[in-house]
Amino acid sequence: MVIGVLSVLLGIVLPTITTVRAAALRRQAAAEATALAQAAVRYKAEYGFWPGQLERKDNLSVKLNQKIGNPDAILHLIVCGPEEFTDDIEVEITDPNILKINDNAVYQAFCTVGPASGSDHPLNPLNPKGIPFLPLTNENDFERVDYPDPWGRPYRLVMGLHPRSVFTVKIKRDDTVIYEKPVSNTVAFAFSIGPVTADRGDNYIYSAGVSP
């Protein structure tokens, strides 16, 4: 009889614990996505470029990231994340010029130490003031530095660059627009795809100020 009562109690309590934990992880993801977007804005205010817009020329200097379709034209947008995300970005302007980078490129810009931290020049040229923008993982390894969501997957980050107008960014999944966001020269937003393996738009967790 005692075993039966315990089984009933466990049946009641365990789903509640699971639900509470899932909600806590989603709150953590929303807070971390917000921190990432805010870090990007702070970086731009400090250095005049979005994180990832510059890349290392060597251990002491930087250069513009030219991994774009038309290096001579105005850059409209920087999108950061896995290829399946960056390849599905659409922008409502003619001939958009988009810099598509992986998350490592952004986190390298946030590192407080450089790739040659054991040399005479330990500072990161992408962050010469050594400002701790985010609590990064593997910060001492330039190739592995990361900021994963609670489920171990990369956040997606979108940063606007067009200096004179506001335009709409569309995020697609399976040729269906799942989210639209007006973006300007001062806007950055980030999100996690959430706890499920399938990349579903109704499960995305956005940074504060950005609603699905």
Mean pLDDT (whole number) for 110-121: 73
**187 pLDDT more than 60:** yes
pLDDT band with cut points at 50, 70 and 90 for residue 44:
very high
Kindly report the number of other CB atoms within 10 A of residue 176's CB atom: 8
Report pLDDT digits (tens) over 125-180.
999 999 999 999 998 888 899 999 999 999 999 888 766 567 788 877 777 787 77
Task: Please report the pLDDT score of residue 212 as a whole number.
Answer: 47
Whole-model pTM: value is: 0.83
φ, ψ for residue 161, nearest 5 deg: -130, -20
Q: Nearest to residue 25, comparing CAs of 187, 198, 192, 174?
A: 192
Kindly report the number of other CB atoms within 10 A of residue 50's CB atom: 26
Amino acid 115 reads P
Mean pLDDT (whole number) for 34-60: 92
Cα 165 to the chain's mean position, in Å?
Answer: 23
The mean of the pLDDT values for the chain is 82
CA separation for the pair 170, 205 (Å, rounded)? 16
